[in-house]
Structure formats: structure tokens, C-alpha cells
């Protein structure tokens, strides 16, 4: 027996070694499986959700936490839980902004070098000017979907109507979508005479009937909640694109909201703008030395209007404010749903407006001008009677005077490269509530940054090939480190941004901004301002700073070359100088002439 012991011990040792080796191999295989699952897009319980909420034509200072008097408790709560960013830029109109959001690219490369409704003759057929979200880019929802995300959209698309360009074809798993630029909020009445009805899709199919009780802000929110709820608990994260139509005109609200702001705007646009400016200073949103932009030259002093004119014009802003508050309520409903279902703590929320406030009130502002064909169509299609304003089937817009209030303290509004047209309020809430309640003045941000930011936060590399063909590399800068509190900005002081639309051009670098605006809004020449001291763009400093002008012009030339910018040979500004009242004399006297009419005294010529 003793002779056999060494042999037996050796056998036992080998068995133990084999068992130990087997255990090690099993442990290694287990670890590899875990790592594989963690790297698999389908294993996504800890990957974040994304909720991107876009308002349509909402002004910079409309919400309470950006200085507005409109009640927006839900947006204000998001601002308190997250961070407000004061230097965030979008395009001056809707579809270019949306193209950049979906692509991470400049609009001239993504297919929206111009809106499809406004393509100039020399831009027709050129790459980047297709008027739809083109195939040079990889759409954000498609990338996320390919990497294990649910992708949902409810709201306005405006990036193409044909089957190959609707949301379902560009990566959205579920959708309920208005394909057009705008339309009625209670029905399929169109926004202009180019269409008989607005077009909608639902889950990739064109529909000709809207849900019962349809109202844009409510129905879009209900649909988004339905989409998220349908897959809740399956372990996959979601990207939810909540693209609201409000507060784009026509201004319409449910009947019980019509009088919510009765009398609130009787003080007039000048006083309301002053009050907003004061609140913005109290909130540290703008510097103490900031002044409001000059009042637009064709907008009269409120006190010069008749009492009836004041009542009529104040009513427009009352309806607009009610529409914004209703939108806020629906945003709150969606956030409450996420909180009640324990999804909020893993969700990034991003809110902004697609461009500045809409100034077009769809009627002639000048006495003696004949009604346009569009105005005649409008009168036949919608109820434009004062008593009906805001109701289902009516059409009213608030026009340039109130648009400039919404843009406080900035100059101009939608459709321009002035700050009122392209600077948007931005609120970001991250799951960790990093720097909650703070204001970031340092970061220079752009809407094309959003796609690379979300991919970075989801740990997804932007592709260079998609659907079997090469795509352009994303141009935007990721905000992931900024949102996480690691850096105040994704850009340095040497970085710059440039934009072009309708022959309106601008470059911003640091506090300096160089802008070209066609007449009559601009002077058909470059104009230099320092936004830190002059956010209202009141003072042209180009003559005193020729070196800075030269520096920014060099950046402009680089932008044109890199982004295939084709300046249009026809724009919305052509002939506008003849339609608007003349600018006031250089001595600043007012009014420019009796022909101006916003409901005041009749012109002597009538």
C-alpha cells in the first residue's frame, strides 16, 4: 500500500489540476460571455435613453427660466434640474435645423442647403440642395436603431414626403408624423395653397384620418407615450424625438384656454420687452450692460395706436402665450410618465426651439397694398374673423411686433441671421443632474453637435459607411464631456461657427460676430458686432476693427468651400424693400410716414 501512495497522489494531483484548469476555463468563458453581452447593442439596460424635445418657432425668452412671463412650470422644472445654455445656435428656419439635428452635418451637405419650397434656380439639381434629408449622411435614428435602440418620433418632420424620405425610411421604428412645414393644429387644413390637406404618416404608412379629438400638442404627446410604453421593460433603450408643431402659426388652442391670458399684454410690446430684459438680467442670463435691440423700424410705438388697435393686437399675443403654456403642460405629461414608470433616471432630456419666432402675420402691413392671392386663399380656407381667433378652423399669427418680444433681447427673428433668428434656448437634463440649476455662458454650441453627442453618450462610433455606401463624417462636436461636467465647452476660443441661408451669412468666433443681411433688414454688406457687450446687435464696429473683419471673412471663405455653399440668385428678400415701410431717418425720428398701419388711424390716402 505504501508503495502505491506516490502514484495515487500523483493521479489525484493531476485530477485536481484538471479540475482547476476546467474551473478556470469555465470562469474565463463566463467572463467572455458577460463582456460579449455588455458589448452587444441588445444588452442595453444601462445604456441611456434620449428624449429630444423641439418647439416650433418659440422665441428665446418665452419660457419662464429664460425671462418670459408665460407660465411654463414644466420647462422651468427641467431648467432647474439641468443646465441652461445661452449660446446655442440653430438655422434661421425649420427644415435646415432638423436636417442638421438628424445628420450631425451642415445643412448644405445634408440636403437642406435651401428649403425645398425655396430652391433658387442656380441651386436646382446641386448636391446638398435636394430639399430632403439626403443619402450623403447616416441618419441619427438609423444609427441608433442599428445599435439596439428603439427609435420613436411624434410631431413635425419636414424633411421629405416621398416613401424613401419619410421617418420610417430614415430609421424610426414607430412614428406619428406631420410631413409638412406647418398646418392647422386641430385638423388637416394646410398652411398654404400648395396643398389641399396636410400629409401624415403613422408607423410608415400614409394616413388620411387623424385620431379622434386631435390637437397637435396633445396627440403628439399621447402617441409618444404609447410608443415608449409599448416596449417598456424589454431591456432596450430608446431615442424619442418629440418634434412639436406648437407654437407655429396658425395660433390655435382648445376653447377653455382662449382667455387664459386675457389682459396680460395690454401694456404693449415695448413694456413687455423691457420687463423681459429686466428679468433676464436678474437671472444672470445676459450682462447688466445689455440693451434690447432697436425696435424694428416699421413697428410703431404702442402708445401711438388707437385703443381698438391695442385690444386687437394684444389678443394675438394672448393666444400665442396660451399655446406655449399648453405645450409646456404636454411636455410635463411626458416627463411625468417617464418618472412614474421609473425611466426618467436613465434618460437625457434635451429641449430647444428649431429657430427664432415667426414674424409673418400673413396679411399686408401697409395701407394701399392690394391683398395677395395667398391672402384671398387664406380668407376662403380659414376663419380670420377677430371673434374666432385661436379657435379650431381660425387663422391668426402674431406678427413682427410680438415676434421681437419673443426674441428679447435680440434683433429680428426667424428667417434672418441676426441673433433673434438663430439663437435658441437650450436646456439639458442629464441623469446625474450634473451642475443642476446652473447657466452655461461659455459653451459655443450648434444643432449639428447633437447627433455626435448622443452617439458618444451611447458609446457608438459614428459610421463612415451606412447601408452599403460611404457617408460623410459628422462635423458636430460632442457635448458628452461638457454635460458630464468635465469641460465648460466642446470648443476653444479659436473655434468658430458659420451659417448661410437665403443669402444671409454670418460667422461667430468668441464674442465677435460678422453678419451680412440683404436689404431692407441689413445693408447688403458685412456688419461686425461684439455680442458680449451688445447682444442686441445695435452697434456696427466693422470700421473700427478691420483686422477682425478680415479674420472672420477668412473663416467665412473656408466655410463656403468646405460645405458647398451656393449663394442663391433669388431669395425671400427680393422686392421686400418695396413692400415694407422705409427705414426712419438717420436722426431717429418716428414714425417714418402715415402709410404704416397696425390697426391704428386710417391713412389719409385711403
Q: How many residues make up the chain in this entry?
A: 606
Q: What's the fold here for domain 49-83+90-340+362-424?
A: Alkaline Phosphatase, subunit A (3.40.720)
3-state secondary structure of 564: coil
**What's the mean pLDDT in 170-197?**
96
Active site residue 504: no
pLDDT band with cut points at 50, 70 and 90 for residue 194: confident
pLDDT band with cut points at 50, 70 and 90 for residue 520: confident
3-state secondary structure of 443: coil
Q: Which residue has the higher pLDDT, 263 or 117?
A: 263
Residue ranges of domains in the chain: 49-83+90-340+362-424
Q: 445-446 and 465-466 as β-strands: parallel, antiparallel, unpaired?
A: unpaired
Q: Is 146 exposed, middle or buried (0-12, 13-18, 19+ CB in 10 A)?
A: middle
pLDDT given for residue 358 in this prediction: 96
User: Looking at 94, 150, 244, 503, which residue is catalytic?
Assistant: 94
Q: How far apart are alpha carbons 101 and 115 in whole angstroms?
A: 15
Place of cell 391670458: 261
CA angle (346, 352, 356) in 5-degree steps? 175
Give the dihedral sign, CA 440/445/451/452: negative
pLDDT band with cut points at 50, 70 and 90 for residue 579: confident
Residues 51 and 431: beta-carbon distance below 8 Å: no
pLDDT given for residue 233 in this prediction: 92
**What's the mean pLDDT in 213-226?**
99
Q: How far apart are alpha carbons 125 and 178 in whole angstroms?
A: 26
Place of cell 449660446: 87
pLDDT digits (tens, 9 = 90+) for 414-435: 999 999 999 999 999 999 999 9
Q: How far apart are alpha carbons 531 and 549 in whole angstroms?
A: 15
**What's the mean pLDDT in 181-198?**
95
State phi, psi for 537 to the nearest 5 degrees: 55, 45
pLDDT digits (tens, 9 = 90+) for 460-505: 999 999 999 999 999 999 999 999 999 999 999 999 999 999 999 9
Q: How far apart are alpha carbons 297 and 595 in whole angstroms?
A: 13
In 10 A of CB 293, how many CB atoms?
22
429 has which bridge partners? 349
pLDDT given for residue 379 in this prediction: 86
Active site residue 94: yes
Report helix angle 307-340 to 399-406, nearest 10: 40
- Secondary element (H or E) of residue 100: helix 94-103
User: Looking at 150, 158, 165, 185, which residue is catalytic?
Assistant: 158
pLDDT digits (tens, 9 = 90+) for 87-142: 999 999 999 999 999 999 999 999 999 998 889 999 999 999 999 999 999 999 99
**What's the mean pLDDT in 217-230?**
99
- pTM, to two decimals: 0.89
pLDDT given for residue 596 in this prediction: 37
pLDDT given for residue 583 in this prediction: 60
Amino acid at each position: 500500500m505504501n508503495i502505491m501512495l506516490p502514484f495515487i497522489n500523483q493521479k489525484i494531483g493531476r485530477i485536481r489540476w484538471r479540475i482547476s484548469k476546467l474551473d478556470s476555463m469555465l470562469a474565463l468563458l463566463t467572463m467572455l460571455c458577460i463582456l460579449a453581452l455588455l458589448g452587444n447593442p441588445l444588452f442595453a439596460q444601462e445604456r441611456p435613453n434620449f428624449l429630444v424635445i423641439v418647439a416650433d418657432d418659440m422665441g428665446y425668452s418665452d419660457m419662464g427660466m429664460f425671462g418670459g412671463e408665460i407660465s411654463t412650470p414644466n420647462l422651468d422644472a427641467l431648467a432647474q434640474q439641468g443646465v441652461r445654455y445661452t449660446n446655442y445656435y440653430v438655422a434661421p428656419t425649420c427644415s435646415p435645423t432638423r436636417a442638421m439635428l438628424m445628420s450631425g452635418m451642415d445643412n448644405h451637405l445634408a440636403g437642406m442647403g435651401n428649403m425645398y419650397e425655396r430652391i433658387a434656380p442656380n441651386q436646382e439639381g446641386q448636391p446638398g440642395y435636394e430639399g430632403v434629408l439626403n443619402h450623403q449622411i447616416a441618419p441619427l435614428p438609423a444609427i441608433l436603431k442599428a445599435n439596439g435602440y428603439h427609435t420613436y418620433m411624434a410631431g413635425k418632420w419636414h424633411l421629405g414626403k416621398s416613401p424613401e424620405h419619410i421617418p420610417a425610411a430614415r430609421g424610426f421604428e414607430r412614428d406619428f408624423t406631420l410631413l409638412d412645414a406647418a398646418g392647422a393644429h386641430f385638423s388637416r387644413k394646410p398652411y398654404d395653397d400648395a396643398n389641399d390637406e396636410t400629409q401624415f404618416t403613422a408607423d410608415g404608412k400614409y394616413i388620411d384620418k387623424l385620431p379622434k379629438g386631435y390637437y397637435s400638442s396633445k396627440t403628439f404627446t399621447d402617441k409618444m407615450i404609447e410608443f415608449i410604453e409599448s416596449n417598456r421593460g424589454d431591456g432596450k433603450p430608446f431615442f424619442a424625438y418629440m418634434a412639436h408643431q406648437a407654437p407655429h402659426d396658425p395660433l390655435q388652442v382648445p376653447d377653455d384656454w382662449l382667455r387664459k391670458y386675457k389682459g396680460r399684454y395690454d401694456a404693449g410690446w415695448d413694456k413687455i420687452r423691457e420687463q423681459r430684459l429686466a428679468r433676464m438680467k436678474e437671472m444672470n442670463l445676459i450682462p447688466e450692460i445689455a440693451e434690447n435691440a432697436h425696435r424694428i423700424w416699421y413697428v410703431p410705438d404702442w402708445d401711438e395706436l388707437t385703443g381698438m388697435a391695442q385690444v386687437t393686437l394684444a389678443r394675438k399675443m394672448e393666444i400665442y402665450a396660451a399655446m406655449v403654456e399648453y405645450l409646456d403642460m404636454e411636455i410635463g405629461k411626458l416627463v411625468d410618465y417617464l418618472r412614474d414608470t421609473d425611466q426618467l433616471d436613465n434618460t437625457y432630456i434635451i429641449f430647444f426651439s428649431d429657430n427664432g419666432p415667426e414674424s409673418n402675420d400673413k396679411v399686408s402691413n401697409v395701407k394701399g397694398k392690394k391683398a395677395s392671392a395667398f391672402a384671398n386663399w387664406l380668407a376662403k380656407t380659414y376663419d380670420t374673423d377677430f371673434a374666432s381667433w385661436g379657435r379650431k378652423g381660425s387663422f391668426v399669427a402674431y406678427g413682427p411686433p410680438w415676434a421681437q418680444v419673443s426674441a428679447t433681447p435680440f434683433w429680428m427673428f426667424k428667417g434672418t441671421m441676426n441673433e433673434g433668428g438663430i439663437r435658441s434656448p437650450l436646456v439639458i437634463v442629464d441623469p446625474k443632474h450634473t451642475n443642476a440649476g446652473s447657466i452655461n455662458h461659455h459653451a459655443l454650441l450648434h444643432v449639428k453637435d447633437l447627433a455626435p453627442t448622443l452617439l458618444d453618450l451611447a458609446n457608438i462610433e459614428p459610421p463612415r459607411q451606412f447601408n452599403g455606401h460611404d457617408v460623410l463624417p459628422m462635423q458636430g462636436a460632442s457635448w458628452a464631456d461638457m454635460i458630464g461636467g468635465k469641460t465648460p465647452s466642446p470648443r476653444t476660443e479659436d473655434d468658430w461657427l458659420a451659417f448661410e441661408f437665403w443669402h444671409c451669412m454670418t460667422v461667430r468666433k468668441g464674442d465677435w460676430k460678422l453678419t451680412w443681411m440683404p436689404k431692407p433688414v441689413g445693408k447688403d454688406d458685412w456688419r461686425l458686432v461684439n455680442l458680449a457687450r451688445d447682444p442686441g446687435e445695435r452697434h456696427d464696429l466693422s470700421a473700427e476693427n478691420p483686422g477682425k473683419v478680415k479674420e472672420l471673412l477668412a473663416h467665412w471663405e473656408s466655410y463656403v468651400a468646405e460645405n458647398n455653399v451656393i449663394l442663391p440668385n433669388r431669395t425671400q428678400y427680393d422686392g421686400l424693400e418695396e413692400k415694407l415701410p422705409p427705414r426712419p431717418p438717420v436722426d431717429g425720428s418716428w414714425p417714418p410716414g402715415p402709410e404704416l398701419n397696425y390697426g391704428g388711424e386710417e391713412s389719409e390716402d385711403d
